[in-house]
């Protein structure tokens, strides 16, 4: 039997997950947690084979709870089960040590298969998540030239093109060209998104 701990702060959602798992002949739900702190405590007490962890919970998020559990029980296997599938959420969870990342909207068979895979020591990723990670890994690293970084930093401070040109002793057309290159590299269409995207990538 695969012993599973379910952590989700929504009672109805948690109940649905528990019912799904309990209906499987080879899975036993040994505990339920309503937040990240409770998940950490129950994981230490129950030593489940797999922990199904929601990502967004009060007190302690799923990724932080995962990291805390693995710091004391490195062999524990955590599967993030969530509605979130943004790049940042996925990478944060995987960096925390999660062995799987599944979506609540996935077919029930996919969730059960994921639990079984992780219990066997494998990694379980929803197909859309796997595709996103492959795309991210395949994407070449984005770099800005020192001048492009300088121009974008001044944009972030609220400077207009004329003001940037004056501060950097450049022509306005040159500033505009630098920004167009930045937009192209970051795959954005405006100044605000360029700044936020650069911050997301750690370029600013």
What pLDDT score was predicted for residue 3?
97
Residue with tokens 């405590």: 41
Distance, first Cα to last Cα, the chain: 49
pTM of the model: 0.66
What pLDDT score was predicted for residue 95?
83
Rounded to 5 degrees, φ, ψ at 98 are: -60, 140
Which of the residues in the chain have pLDDT under 70? 87, 136-140
């Amino acid at each position: 039997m695969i012993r599973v701990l379910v952590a989700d702060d929504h009672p109805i959602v948690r109940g649905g997950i528990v019912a799904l798992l309990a209906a499987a002949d080879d899975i036993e739900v040994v505990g339920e947690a309503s937040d990240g702190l409770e998940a950490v405590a129950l994981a230490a007490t129950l030593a489940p084979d797999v922990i199904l962890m929601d990502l967004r919970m009060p007190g302690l998020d799923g990724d932080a709870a995962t990291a805390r559990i693995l710091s004391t029980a490195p062999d524990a296997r955590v599967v993030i089960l969530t509605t979130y599938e943004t790049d940042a959420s996925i990478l944060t969870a995987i960096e925390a040590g999660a062995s799987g990342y599944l979506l609540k909207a996935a077919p029930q068979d996919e969730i059960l298969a994921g639990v079984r895979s992780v219990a066997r020591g494998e990694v379980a990723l929803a197909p859309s998540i796997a595709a996103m990670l492959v795309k991210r890994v395949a994407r070449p690293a984005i770099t800005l030239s020192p001048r492009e970084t300088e121009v974008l930093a001044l944009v972030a401070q609220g400077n207009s093109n004329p003001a940037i040109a004056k501060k950097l002793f450049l022509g306005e057309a040159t500033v505009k060209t630098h920004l167009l290159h930045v937009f192209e590299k970051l795959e954005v269409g405006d100044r605000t998104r360029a700044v936020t995207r650069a911050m997301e990538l750690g370029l600013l």
